[in-house]
Structure 1
């Protein structure tokens, strides 16, 4: 997963001489994915099988979530402490911008500081609900009885409507960003409920959006160099004086390029991240050997 998320961005960083934070979404997602992995990997490792054998593992999972929330809150409450951690060499280069500034990473990080925790809590509750047969999504019927489904649907509509009202009524951007960190789960959870309560909706999907979803990461990264120009300060113009035609042509090139990059990444993944641990270790050593001289040249050490 980390290879697929970072392959294109890292290649572009080397080719275009851009900092890793230039494609801020990639380092942000990679960071939280690593946090998720470390949180679950720290002993005791909790799995569905382990919870059946030892119900105390549910409690251990709650402790892990509480600790993760506490650490995120501590980092948020002290920007100085935050900078001391992320501006430490050698990983400083992963979090600073071109002018050696970390405020962009600070802004992106604090905006979604609880998002991964909300996702983990939802997954945890979902597994509990399945374990105790509170929901059953293995069929084409509704998740609950009609009365419960109606209440959940109304709650979903209220959640989306409430967040929409908040978005319009919020006075300042700073205030919106601050509250967003605590309410980000509301519209997502509301959509999940509305999408899945009904068996009719849950068992249907759009192949078009599925296809676009598979290349969404490539679309995000490549927009900086195909849709946009001049370090995102301009737009790419191939056909002057015809803006609509230019947009159609650029969009076609953009989507095709993203699709091809996705296909290339899929082909290279098993070679870059092989199943054999010895081959994997070899690749890691080679990658580190490539990074060390680059890091020395850029002052990482």
Structure 2
């Protein structure tokens, strides 16, 4: 394409001079190389052990006789019992003493410290975890190469409504034709259905960014509200049903929401607010947790639960609708929530956080209310299902007709508003299209018990696809690079001159990497953040914090001495 040279020049111009490696990037590189060395060492140990075991097995089969342990005057005791518990004859005091270890002794005996000290057995045991760390680090390096170097060229965005809709419709037809499957329950808003919902919304959200489909802006705002609604609905349902307010589960949620974005910010020198979905979901998850974890014995009383939901609503009104209160609360956290667009150096650093979070400030509370009303809505649908056929279809038709009428009024009076005018009313009206969709999608048992697994699968990796899109599907070229419409202004290009083939190739790579990141995040979460062992959790958090301090200090020293200064030219 004739314009590709100009796009490359524009991407280089955005970088404006030498690219200096930050302290965080040096620290990441040190950690990555350290993990890589440990992983290769563990592979060598594993290969050595496997070779030795095969040699012993061969010799045993050929020439070694069996010895009667009784002839030696006693029975031999295996080091590990068939159940994997170890020898039954192990001294009882050893078990109790291990439970009474002090913190420092406990830390010294942890797998992390043993790996640092090159303990061979610990390295063998941690081989899979080390592999996950190395793979995750390699993907972060790939992010950097795609988005901050000229390894792969960039191209311009081009929007055609026909192509935009065609891609989505073809994917939907494939999903409906080849991945439609029944679920085990007719429950209203069951898990496969909500995953499917997230999946098709995410596809449209990503296509909106890829093609810069500005005319779909209002729809995308509704989709984001749908994600935030699920935060309130899903977390409230879980805590209300299980009463699991353990710190382990809470930390696992925080890990899931922030682990990948933390390293992405470090490697690419981006600010947290560039990925506003993560802090927004984190905040609203904490608020739902706080509401139900506070005086949990009151959660058995519906009046008290409604009082808590009302308290959340009042909190929103105070902290968002009174702007001075919002700024007073968040100004001390400017280092975390502040954002400076490199193309708008004079803007308010907290403006982006205030704007993004205020758009969906009410919908998570509505999600909590929907979770409270869920049993009653389920009973109402069941009652309709059990009506005689003529009456059943009449009632369903009336409900659907009323829902469509409400949506039509919403569409004509609100949805068609221009962007700025729409944003003013979005926080107060986004619940209307979401409720209409939920009613229509769950009106019959067949609609509730069938879902498209392809979209459900994509719905499971929405966080990873959201974060990855900016760096291995799109390109911003500079730290905090963000175009006027909130997305990088370039496309990653693998096949220059063939935009649709390039779209297919980049998308295949991008979705594969996103799925791997999803799996790696879960593997590392299970290794680092136990659900039911607060002692191990506290130990791991302290050790990871110390590791962060050590690596950052080493990175600072190397960075200060100028040993790892890099320039793009």
Contact 1:96/1:105, CA 8 A, preserved across alignment: yes
Counterpart position of 1:258: 514
1:149 is matched with 396
Instruction: Name stretches of at least 5 consecutive residues in structure 1 with no aligned partner.
Output: 51-56
2:495 paired with 1:239? yes
SS state at 2:450 partner: coil
- Which residue is 1:54 aligned to? none
1:278 counterpart = 2:541:
no
- Between the two structures, name the one with larger relative contact order (CA 8 Å, sep ≥ 6): 2
Q: Which residue of 2 aligns with 1:40?
A: 292
Q: Is the 8 A contact 1:143 1:196 kept in 2?
A: no
- Contact 1:21/1:97 (<8 A) preserved: yes
* Partner of residue 432, structure 2: 186
Shift of residue 92, structure 1, vs aligned partner: 3.1
1:185-217 Cα offsets, whole Å, 9 max, x none, are: 111111111111111111101011111111111
* Contact 1:111 1:181 (8 Å CA) reproduced: yes
Which residue does the alignment assign to 1:108? 356
Name the residue aligned to 2:102: none
**SS of structure 2 residue aligned to 1:274:** coil
2:370 corresponds to which of 98, 122, 136 = 122
Which one of the candidate residues 387, 412, 422 is aligned to 1:176? 422
Cα 1:167/1:134, change in 2 over 3 Å: closer
CA contact (8 A) 1:5 1:26 kept: yes
CA 1:288/1:149 → structure 2, altered by over 3 Å: closer, same or farther?
A: farther
Determine if contact 1:95/1:102 at 8 Å carries over to the other structure: yes
2:469 is the alignment partner of 1:212 = no
* Match 2:336 to one of 91, 94, 97: 94
TM-score, reference length from structure 2: 0.46
Larger radius of gyration: 2
Partner Cα separation in structure 2 for residue 123 and residue 25 of structure 1 = 22
Q: Could you tell me how far apart the structure 1 residues matched to 2:386 and 2:259 are?
A: 39
Q: Structure 1 CA distance, aligned partners of 2:377 and 2:438? A: 15
Structure 1 residues 46, 289: CA separation in 2 closer, same or farther (over 3 Å shift)?
A: farther
Q: What do the CA deviations read for 1:58-89 (whole angstroms, capped 9, x no partner)?
A: 1111211222111211222322211110111x
Alpha-carbon deviation of 1:264?
0.8
Alpha carbons 2:334, 2:349 under 8 Å: kept: no
Residues 233 and 78 of structure 1: CA distance in aligned 2, closer, same or farther (over 3 Å): same
Q: Which residue of 2 aligns with 1:60?
A: 304
Which secondary structure state, in structure 2, belongs to the residue aligned with residue 87 of structure 1? helix
Does the aligned pair in 1 maintain the 2:415–2:422 contact within 8 Å? Answer: no
Structure 1 residue 21, shift from structure 2 partner: 0.8
Alignment: residue pair count:
280
- Contact 1:143/1:199 (<8 A) preserved: no
Q: TM-score, normalised by structure 1?
A: 0.84
SS, match of residue 241 in structure 1: coil
Shift of residue 103 of structure 1?
A: 0.3
Q: In structure 2, what is the Cα distance between the partners aligned to 1:181 and 1:43? A: 29
